[in-house]
Chains A and B, each alone.
Chain A
Amino acid sequence: MNPDPFQALGLPARPDLTDEQVRAAWRAIAAATHPDRPDGGDLARYTAASAAYAELRTPWSRSEAYADLAERAEADDDGPVTSPLPPVPGGEQSVPPPPWQPLIALARVPARVRRGRPLRLAIRAAVAAAWSLAVLALIPGTAAAPADITGLVTWFVLTGRKDLAPPPER
């Protein structure tokens, strides 16, 4: 499998390329590198381009190749380890979750923020904080102030949780 079929065809790695663009790129390379050329062509490059063309021929396979590239880029960037764990003799043992599981989940939150959408979370947090400050400035010492802040925190938690990366077990 070609590691980067887009590169092999000299195309930008984009999922929205058209069939025509891919075909034109392949034809250009094929014409320049075909082994039947008087100068002998470039068999290695021709083979790589042909394989890449087969991989990028349809919109669906292009989107797959693009997604694979994106995943690989993520993985290279200190991404998930997806190699298999060493086998355990006797099969998997059922292990009940430890009582300190909530603490572990809490400790993972910074990593989940980092691997999620930190900018959006920061914007949400800034909006919630700004509104909370405005509430405290407008109605200090009233019963509505903690209630409003509770509402803002609820909003932040509900909308912000989808910007976190999923926990490892999911």
Chain B
Amino acid sequence: MSIWSWLKLAMFLWLLRKAFRLAGWLLLAAAAVAAWPVTVVTAAGYAAAWLRGWPPARLYRSAAWAVPATVTWLAALEAAQPGFLAARTPGRAWGGGWDQLTGAGLARTFALLAPAAVPAGLALAGLVWAWRNYAITSGLAGIMASANITFDARQWKRQVRTARGLTAAPGAVPLLARGGLIPVGGTIRAIGHRWRPVLALPAAACARHMVIVGATGSGKTNLMIRLWAGWFTATLAAARAGRGNRPLLVVLDCKGGRDARVKAERTRRLLYGAGARRVAIWPDEAQLCLWDLPPDDLSVLLYQMIDSGTGAAAYYADVLQAVITLAVMAPCGPPLSTAGFLERLTAKWLQNAWNDGRHPAEAEHARAAARHLPDIQLRYATLLRRLGSALDGPGRLEEADAWYCILEGTRERSVAEAQAMALTELAARAATSLEGESRAMLLAADDYSAVSGRVPLSNLYERGRSLGIGVQVSAQSWQGLGATEDERYRIAATADGGLFVLHTPYPEPLTALAGKRRVLETAHKLIGNAWGDEGTTREQRAWTADPDLVRRLDTGQACYIHRGAATFVQVARPKPSPLTLLPPPAPPPAPPLVPEPRREAAPQPPSWPPAAGLDDIFGPGATR
């Protein structure tokens, strides 16, 4: 073959390819012109999706919502001429339209064909838009090599704008949606999850374990308050319908300070709007009673609240534990107040209490520990004085619908740690108590790392899991979730209610939990700045929740990770319905019910003469 022949063959093949391509485009153009009402709708749908950052699913949903009009049309046709004889009418309308190519004529033809053209056009627009997305993201389309990146960045901006617009609408993101779902905010982008305009979580997700991580100023508070209010509203609605227990929300705000008071006030306003009858703010306005705990739990808690050390200090720890057990488990019953407890930490009281002749071993222990008692009493007096009266009662968690507990974890860490332990114990008691009404409980710990010195977050987590209460924890960063990498991973990986990641500088360990997805990566031969005709495509793995995207999240944006999928969402500020029902005419205010202070049973001195007889008194085993 000569060079000229080869050139002619190459030219012929190139022309043939171009001719086929041109013929294809011409055919497509002819079809588009012929079915112009569908084309108009398709073009409008495609343009709307492009400009507003909609996914193809949004167009499919619109097409589905247009079907009722089509059904009405078919019913009207059938009513006009039974036997679907009028099915030819659209054909005639379409054919007649070509005879009247005026504005009015075209509008008339479009109106006649709209019931069929709108759903068809929107569905077609969805298909075309899906193809465009696929082609761009896999590298099959676009003129410039950066087309994929530019397209993604532009669509992200539009998706954010659309989601913000949606969250600004008063009725788009209420506190509770149909089916007991908790709306969170407008969906920006869903990867792996089914796309819905508003991300809504089932209330059960909050009743399990949930982790929220976001830096200061990322909108974490808004998100948490929305989830609390949504959970409360959903659980209360279910309880009113007889499908569950009344809610009890316990929030531990572990940083404290002025911001905590502002948040508490806001949470209270919102919960009152959502139907709560009593929202207590602890310790500012309400008290709880530590001494209501069962004696076993109380003695363990009191022992744990004191830092007793290890190594050589283990001896002292053992003595401490023995003394606490003696004081709490005394035959006359557990202490009922701080003063009562401190009173028991004296040799005289303990020996009096146990020296009833039925507990010789305990009486002996009380004698043996006598020389340590002043130190132990001093330590507990100091601790309990620092804790203040907020844990000295009266008050029980069950008496309110929600408790907002403010712990000064930043200012007084050791006190806040002890308080956190006590409150967790009281919550566990409320969850497991068989007395009174059962309650559905959510324990939310905001910035728990501020008080997690002695009770790691994983303990709280496991505790909640074993008690069947929902636990929601938040931290400002991955490192704030726990002291060790292993603990952090355990907390995050077991969040079966989902994981919210807001703006944070190190999201990789969290986004890794969403896993990776399969994507196509196309390599093109570049000619100058543009792509040539040749290239290869191969399968690659990409982050499901892109950490760089998470790093760039704006205030109020979050990434919800659940079951290997991710949804980016614009969180809506929680607001109760402005139509909250007016309360019924209130009865005249009754005097506040203050429980009668319980009187502590003092140990009775041994009766005289004792039942055992005078020999025991004057003999070697004498008690005095």
Contact = CB atoms under 8 A, between A and B. Distances in A.
A170 B269 contact: no
A32 B179 CA distance: 58
A23 B104 CA distance: 63
Interface in B78-118: 79-80, 86, 89, 104, 107-108, 111-115, 118
9 contacts: A58-B216, A84-B272, A85-B583, A151-B114, A161-B171, A162-B172, A165-B171, A169-B176, A170-B176
A144 B87 CA distance: 12
Contacts of A71: 269, 575
Contact of A82 (B68, B72, B107, B580): B580
Given A139-B108, A151-B115, A154-B68, A82 B169 contact: no
Contacts of A97: 241
Contacts of B266: 64, 68
A67 B69 contact: no
A54 B580 contact: no
Interface in B523-576: 555, 573, 575-576
A60 B262 CA distance: 12
A116 B240 contact: no
Interface in A68-118: 68, 71, 74, 79-88, 91-92, 94-97, 108, 111-112, 115-117
Greatest chain B CB density within 10 A among A68, A79, A81 is at: A81
B104 A55 contact: no
A82 B273 contact: yes
Contact of A59 (B113, B217, B261): B217
A74 B171 contact: no
A28 interface: no
Nearest to B585: A86
A34 to B, nearest CB: 21
Nearest to B176: A170
B377 interface: no
A83 B578 contact: no
Q: Which 6 A-B pairs give the minimum distances between C-beta atoms?
A: A147-B73, A151-B69, A166-B174, A94-B242, A143-B76, A147-B115
A98 to B, nearest CB: 12
Given A92-B240, A96-B241, A170-B233, A81 B580 contact: yes
B52 to A, nearest CB: 13
A150 interface: yes
B170 A86 contact: no
A18 interface: no
A138 B118 contact: no
B277 interface: yes
Interface residues of B, number: 71
B166 to A, nearest CB: 7
B412 interface: no
A103 to B, nearest CB: 16
Interface of B: 65-66, 68-70, 72-73, 76-77, 79-80, 86, 89, 104, 107-108, 111-115, 118, 166, 169-172, 174-177, 216-217, 221, 233, 236-237, 239-242, 246, 258-259, 261-262, 265-266, 269, 272-273, 275-279, 437, 555, 573, 575-584, 586-587
A129 interface: no
Contacts of A58: 216-217
Greatest chain A CB density within 10 A among B114, B166, B175, B221 is at: B114
A115 B474 CA distance: 34
B261 A1 contact: yes
Contacts, number: 182
A96 B239 CA distance: 10
Contact of A79 (B112, B278, B437, B578): B578
A146 interface: yes
Contact of B269 (A64, A82, A92, A108): A82
B262 A64 contact: yes
Given A63-B555, A147-B76, 8 more contacts: A81-B581, A82-B576, A83-B272, A138-B111, A144-B115, A147-B73, A167-B174, A169-B237
Nearest to B66: A151
B581 A94 contact: no
A31 B360 CA distance: 73
Interface in A143-167: 143-148, 150-151, 154, 158, 161-167
B112 A139 contact: yes
A7 interface: no
Contacts of A134: 107, 111
Greatest chain B CB density within 10 A among A144, A150, A154 is at: A144
A87 to B, nearest CB: 6
A162 B186 CA distance: 12
Nearest to B587: A86
Given A115-B170, A116-B170, A139-B108, A94 B217 contact: no
B595 to A, nearest CB: 15
B68 A162 contact: no
Contacts of B275: 85, 169
Contacts of A54: 258
A150 B69 contact: yes
B175 A144 contact: no
B580 A87 contact: no
A80 B583 contact: no
Nearest to B77: A143
A61 B259 contact: yes
B175 A94 contact: no
B112 A142 contact: yes
B592 to A, nearest CB: 12
B583 A83 contact: yes
B241 A138 contact: no
A95 B73 contact: no
Contacts of A95: 240
Given A79-B578, A163-B169, A147 B583 contact: no
Nearest to A59: B217
A144 B112 contact: yes
A38 to B, nearest CB: 32
B593 to A, nearest CB: 10
B582 A81 contact: yes
Nearest to B69: A151
